[in-house]
Amino acid sequence: MPPRELSAPREGSQGRGGDPAPVRGGMDVTELKTRFAQALATHTGLELGAVEAAIARPPDLALGVFAFPCFPLAKTLRKAPPAIAAEIVASAQAPEGTELVAAGGYVNLRLQPGILARQAVESVQAWQTTSRVSGSGVGRTVLVDYSSPNAGKELVYHHIRSTAIGAALCRMYEAAGWKVEAVNHLGDWGTQFGKLILMWLREHGMDQEAALADLPSVTLSTLNRMYVGFKPAAAEDPAMEEEARLWFARLEAKEAFARTCWERFIEVSIAALNEVYVRFGAKFDHFLGESFYEDKLEATIERIRQAGILEESEGAQVVRVGDDIPPCLIRKRDGATLYATRDLAAAIWRHEHFGCDRALYVVDAGQSFHFRQVFEVLRRMGEPCAHGCIHVPFGLVLGKGEDGNWSKVSTRSGTGAPLPDVMDRAAARIRETMVSLAEKRALENPSREQDSFSDRELDQVSEAIGVGALVFNELKSRRAADTRFDLDSILSFEGDTGPYIQYAYARLSSILRKGGEVIAPEAARWSLLCEPETERVASVVSQFPERLDAAVEANEPSVIAQFALELAEAVHSFTHHHRVLEVDATPERMLLVETARRTLAKALTLLGLTPVERM
RNA sequence: GCGCCCGUAGCUCAGUCGGAUAGAGCAACGGAUUUCUAAUCCGUCGGUCGUGGGUUCGAGCCCCGCCGGGCGUGCCA
Distance A490 CA to B55 C1' (A): 43
Position A19 scores a pLDDT of: 30
| Nucleotide nearest the Cα atom of A340 (by C1') | B77
Neighbours of A349 (CB within 10 A): 17
Say if residues A594 and A518 touch (Cβ distance below 8 Å): yes
Say if residues A185 and A289 touch (Cβ distance below 8 Å): yes
Position A5 scores a pLDDT of: 30
Q: How, if at all, do strands A141-145 and A179-184 pair? A: parallel
Say if residues A485 and A301 touch (Cβ distance below 8 Å): no
Neighbours of A273 (CB within 10 A): 23
Residue A363 has pLDDT above 90, yes or no: yes
A4 touches strand B (CB under 7 A): yes
Q: What does the CA dihedral A198, A199, A200, A202 come to, rounded to 10 degrees? A: 90
Distances (CA, A) of A609 to A12, A280, A467: 9, 7, 8
Position A27 scores a pLDDT of: 65
Residue A566 has pLDDT above 80, yes or no: yes
Residue A394 has pLDDT above 50, yes or no: yes
> Starting at the edge strand that comes first in sequence, how are the strands of the sheet with A483-485 ordered?
A406-407, A397-400, A483-485
Q: How, if at all, do strands A98-103 and A106-111 pair? A: antiparallel
Say if residues A611 and A597 touch (Cβ distance below 8 Å): no
E strand or H helix at A210? helix A208-213
pLDDT-based confidence at residue A60 (cuts at 50, 70, 90): confident
Position A6 scores a pLDDT of: 29
Among chain A residues 121 through 180, which have CB within 7 angstroms of nucleic chain B? none
Residue of A565, A535, A526, A559 whose CA lies nearest to A545 = A559
Position A219 scores a pLDDT of: 95
Residue of A594, A612, A549 whose CA lies nearest to A177 = A549
Over residues A375-400, mean pLDDT: 93
Q: Nearest protein residue to B42's C1' (by CA)?
A: A573
Say if residues A51 and A37 touch (Cβ distance below 8 Å): yes
Distance separating alpha carbons of residues A61 and A334, to the nearest angstrom: 66
Among chain A residues 207 through 266, which have CB within 7 angstroms of nucleic chain B? none
Among chain A residues 468 through 487, which have CB within 7 angstroms of nucleic chain B? 476-478, 480-484
ipTM, two decimals, is 0.96
User: CA torsion sign, A461 to A466 to A467 to A469?
Assistant: positive
- Percent with pLDDT over 90 in chain A: 74
Amino acid at A293: Y
Strand ranges (DSSP E) for A257-388?
A: 286-287, 310-313, 316-319, 328-331, 358-361
Give the CA radius of gyration of chain A.
Answer: 29
- Model pLDDT for residues A85-126, shown as the tens digit of each residue: 999 999 888 888 899 999 889 999 999 988 999 999 999 999
Over residues A500-528, mean pLDDT: 94
A338 touches strand B (CB under 7 A): yes
- Model pLDDT for residues A520-539, shown as the tens digit of each residue: 999 999 999 999 999 999 99
Residue A340 has pLDDT above 60, yes or no: yes
Position A11 scores a pLDDT of: 32
Position A10 scores a pLDDT of: 42
Q: How, if at all, do strands A98-103 and A286-287 pair? A: unpaired
- Model pLDDT for residues A291-333, shown as the tens digit of each residue: 999 999 999 999 999 999 999 999 999 999 988 889 999 999 9
- Rounded to the nearest integer, the mean pLDDT of chain A is 90
Say if residues A290 and A187 touch (Cβ distance below 8 Å): yes
pLDDT-based confidence at residue A18 (cuts at 50, 70, 90): very low
